[in-house]
Amino acid sequence: MIDLWKKLTQTESRDTAHGVEPHRLAAAALLVEAAHMDGSMDAEELSSIRTLLAERFGLAAGDAQMLLDEGERAARESSDWQGFTSTIKEAFDQDGRIALVGMLWQVVLSDGVLHDHEASLMRRITGLLYVSGRESALARDEAKRTLGLSD
């Protein structure tokens, strides 16, 4: 975990050298973590994460795939995701953190079901990112509309 934290915070890290900024890597890793919370990550979730990363960070498809791959690696190598939330909290303003929460909602709701582990992750992440329950609920509702889900 310490090695991963160093990679996320050093400006000359391997990830930065490959064009992956620490806050982007942290966002990708959290999206991957969210996709895994229900026990599996399917092709639809991977496609959703790739699209979300491309849209949020203005990336071409190949760059979004590279960021997704690096996010998967970072999530796999990390013993927890709190370092990711710290990186995001420092790099994103409030609107950016709310947007990321919306992206996370899109991933956890992509199968149309909110599993207990996913709901727990969302509560913990929103707290660590200083996103209020109301802001998270609005982001969740927007994610549901985007996904075509009804209450």
- Residue 40: predicted pLDDT: 81
CB 30 within 8 A of CB 108: no
Query: How many of the other CB atoms lie within 10 Å of CB of 126?
Result: 24
Structural domain of 51 = 2-147
**pTM for this structure?**
0.84
At 33, which CATH number? 1.10.3680.10
Residue 81 contacts residue 122 (beta carbons within 8 Å): no
Side chain identity, residue 49: I
Give the Cβ contact number of residue 74 at 10 Å: 25
Are the C-beta atoms of residues 91 and 56 closer than 8 Å to each other? no
Average pLDDT value over all residues in the chain = 86
The whole-number pLDDT of residue 15 equals 40
The Cα-based distances of 122 to 31, 37, 109, 131 in angstroms read: 11, 10, 11, 10
What single-letter amino acid sits at 83? G
User: Domain total for the chain?
Assistant: 1
Q: What residues in the chain have per-residue pLDDT under 50? A: 1-17
- E strand or H helix at 82: helix 82-91
Distance from C-alpha of 23 to C-alpha of 57, rounded to nearest angstrom: 11
pLDDT number for residue 13: 38
